[in-house]
Structure 1
Amino acid sequence: MTSPSKNAAHYGLAWLALILATLAGLAWWWQIGRPVDLPDAPSARIACVSYAPFRKPGETPFNTHFVMTPERIDEDLHALSQRFDCVRTYSQGHGLAAVPAIAARYHMQVLMGIWLGSEVKENEKEIELGIATAKANPKTIRGVIVGNEVLLRGDLSPRRLTEYIRRVRAAVPTTIPVTYADVWQDWLRYPQMASVVDFITMHILPYWEDNPVAAIDAVHHVEDVYARMQHMFPGKQLMIGETGWPSAGRLRRSAEPSLVDEALYLRAFLRYAADVHMPYNVIETFDQPWKRAQEGTVGGYWGIFDTHAQPKFPMLGPVTEEPHWWLGWLAGAVCAVAFAMVGAWRRSWRGIRGWLALLLAGFAAGTSAAWQLRQMMFACEWWWQWLLSAVCLVGALVIATALARRIAGHMADHHDHSEPAQWWRFGALFALVLYDILLAFDGRYMDFPMGLFLLPCVAYGMFGLLTHELSMPSAEQRFLACIGPILAIAPVVQEAGMNKVTWLWLGLNLAIAVPILVAWRCHAVRLQPHEAQAADQ
């Protein structure tokens, strides 16, 4: 039998958890709605920016039959010429060979890309078309970039890549410099490539580094890399061919994708580039939804403009992460009322404490569900992704609501030990452990759906704190409760303990697992005297 003092402590912890969950929901939404003062950029104009026009639903460079119309390119470049002096392209296919001629109309220059991969025939088409385009537009093309991150992907050997570069160098006008673009680490890995190009084009993306760097420190990292490359290749002209910051996606160690951090990094980088008179190119013009399939949510949000060609943030003045932050509070208020209404149905308890518990639980659940809906707006592209996410979120809300009814009864001193069907908890555990497995073994590009799993995990954690299960948890639940927290440790280790989200994720695993493990131990202890008595008889 549990002592009264122990019960009082559990009730105190339950009230504390409810209050903290509510305050967390209030504070998180308020915080992302506050304007953040940032240093201004030296100018709203940017020297050069990566241009890929695949920003509308269904548009992707993987569709070999898709061709971007000259009218669409003209529309884009006319708008971009108001902010940018130059655009960088990555391939000649999909109608992009028309970019230099159209850019000339708006007095823009082009860093023209020739895409190289592992397919020889496709490489031949790209090179032939690239050479023809360069010859036709010698005054518009600032440089030809033969291959992008080919060595990083392992598509070609350095020897084969060198042959392609020399072939293009021999064919295009001598007034057009020729280069190759790759991450700065691969230039150090293959220093012989420097002798093949007219200038070095390196990518410095602090978010994607093996040791990611927070936005506030990212420009210092760029400075260090730039100095290292100058020391490694003295006398060789250097250009940063890609740098930027994502506005949405998963945290990598201390590198957080957010609108504020994107603005912070770009403004700081532009000041640095202006001070040292360094040639650079920012990635990228528009958000690219198709990249989510390769790089997760974060891949689709590197643009300075959104998919509707609207600027995502100003270059001067404060920046607000979420202007509609009050919708999170509204969702909390709506859910608080809904939880109270559901809790009032056939209730067997009385007292203000029960109502207060329902309102607090409902508000916390509403702000959490709103967080997940916001996440879905960034992450979901296809109808089936919306459907699957919506079904999971509704299921989580149903579990949270059902448990909130029982938690409210306990808070009102009505000791009802009934709980929802066991398969509800098994389903939540199974989904959580399945996601744990994906994060542990292939989680580089996966988001943490905190808003979704907060609902069942915290609700079952509080329910377990207030009750003592009458029956032994099933073997399946005991297994999942053991394996989940172990798997959840993997992301913490992989992120070197620097990612705050991985710790919260581990906390969710423990919240739902610990009550099961405690019940398992308690029932095992109760069975021992009976087993001993049976042995004596």
Structure 2
Amino acid sequence: MAYTPELSMYPACGNSIEEVVKDMQMISQLTNKIRLYGADCDQSALVLEAIKRTKIDMEVWLGNYVMPGEDEAYARQRDAIQAAIKKYGTKHIGGITVGNEYMLNYLTSQGLSSPDINTAAGDVGAATLIRYIDDTRTNIEAMKLDKTIPIGNSDAGSFFNNLVLAKIDYGLSNVHPWFANTTIEAAPQWTWDFFDEQNVTPATAINPNIEMYIAETGWPSGSKDVANESNGFASASVADLQTFLDLFVCKSNDDGVKYFYFEMFDEEWKDLQFGGVEGHWGLFDKHRKMKNLKLPTCLLKS
């Protein structure tokens, strides 16, 4: 499950252990694997402390969210992650993800797009991301921990640079059929096909030991404005969210597709800042009340 503790936006940092404990208790009823996006506002420590207090079986992929040109933000989060590991150990850590949509943001800032990802121009941005990845690995190895922690990267499905893929233990790919102008009935198959063709096959050709996950996939249940309630053949509604859950979750579990569902709760700040469907991807609303959904009876593995 994709998860960010509420009010974890730096530097305001209004999150709290009490709320994270409540969230972990809810999330643990659906899955035993979550991914975080960043480490600011003590997210890593708060989640690990909540796991400790509730004694739940949860594996966490910690995250370092950094934008191009933000060396200070990278270092701040790197240090926060290391401090959390020193305090709570490695038992509940599945990996450390360095960057989320870093290459997408880098290319966009340069006026480039996905076809440029493996050109000389794309490799310039990749060089900085690789520096962060190498630095994370070096610092984690220097801690001489009781187990090896995989180091990975997350990006939009079409924005994985080959040089980056060669450097990581795992890749998390954001694969959203909503943006593909597909029907809700075709959305699960589109997701599986895209992930296999655009991510798994090319990544393993470059790095045979890499593990590839769908980092985000889901369906919006609504929109802040009427203009964005549809996208091609797609409709943002609770009914279509239900259809996506029915068609995607159990078959993905049965087929061994590694994925993190996007997401547990609606995020109000996205609704306020971006509008459209951005704040409406949760299985639960912003008040932690489940939408009018029937969850699949198979296990949500991640």
Same fold (TM over 0.5): yes
> What TM-score comes out, normalization by structure 1 length?
0.46
2:84 maps to amino acid = T
Aligned-partner SS, 1:112: strand
* 1:248 matched to 2:222: yes
Paired residues of 1:53 and 1:286 also in contact (CA < 8 A): no
**Could you tell me which of 165, 185, 189 is aligned with 2:133?**
165
Structural mapping, 1:285-296, within 5 Å: 285-296=264-275
Paired residues of 2:8 and 2:15 also in contact (CA < 8 A): no
Q: Tell me: CA distance 1:316–1:285, structure 2 relative to 1, closer, same or farther (3 Å).
A: closer
**Could you tell me which of 207, 211, 224 is aligned with 1:237?**
211
1:221 maps to amino acid = W
Inter-partner Cα distance in structure 2 for 1:239 and 1:152: 18
Give the corresponding residue for 2:175: 204
1:100 maps to amino acid = L
Structural mapping, 1:101-500, within 5 Å: 101-104=49-52, 105-117=55-67, 118-135=69-86, 136-154=88-106, 157-172=125-140, 173=145, 175-187=148-160, 190-208=161-179, 211-228=180-197, 229-234=199-204, 235=208, 236-249=210-223, 250=228, 251-312=230-291, 313-315=293-295
Inter-partner Cα distance in structure 1 for 2:177 and 2:213: 16
Inter-partner Cα distance in structure 2 for 1:289 and 1:253: 25
* Shift of residue 159, structure 1, vs aligned partner: 0.4
Give the corresponding residue for 1:100: 48
Inter-partner Cα distance in structure 2 for 1:170 and 1:222: 35
Inter-partner Cα distance in structure 2 for 1:65 and 1:231: 41
Inter-partner Cα distance in structure 1 for 2:260 and 2:177: 15
Please say which structure displays the higher CA radius of gyration. 1
> What TM-score comes out, normalization by structure 2 length?
0.80
Give the corresponding residue for 2:116: none
Contiguous gaps of at least 5 residues in structure 2:
110-123, 298-302
Paired residues of 1:248 and 1:258 also in contact (CA < 8 A): yes
Inter-partner Cα distance in structure 1 for 2:8 and 2:97: 21
Aligned-partner SS, 1:271: helix
* 1:52 matched to 2:4: yes
Question: How many aligned positions are there?
Answer: 260
Post-superposition Cα deviations, 1:405-450, rounded to whole Å, max 9, x if no partner, equal xxxxxxxxxxxxxxxxxxxxxxxxxxxxxxxxxxxxxxxxxxxxxx
2:295 maps to amino acid = M
2:91 maps to amino acid = K
Inter-partner Cα distance in structure 2 for 1:207 and 1:137: 38
2:168 maps to amino acid = V
Paired residues of 1:304 and 1:311 also in contact (CA < 8 A): yes
* Shift of residue 146, structure 1, vs aligned partner: 0.8
Inter-partner Cα distance in structure 2 for 1:225 and 1:86: 23
- CA-based RMSD: 2.0
* Aligned-residue identity in percent: 25
Contiguous gaps of at least 5 residues in structure 1:
1-48, 318-537
* Shift of residue 60, structure 1, vs aligned partner: 6.4
Inter-partner Cα distance in structure 2 for 1:134 and 1:144: 11
* Shift of residue 66, structure 1, vs aligned partner: 2.4
Higher helix share: 1
Paired residues of 1:131 and 1:168 also in contact (CA < 8 A): no
* 1:88 matched to 2:35: yes
Inter-partner Cα distance in structure 1 for 2:156 and 2:13: 28
Higher strand share: 2
Aligned-partner SS, 1:116: coil
Inter-partner Cα distance in structure 1 for 2:153 and 2:164: 8
1:116 maps to amino acid = V
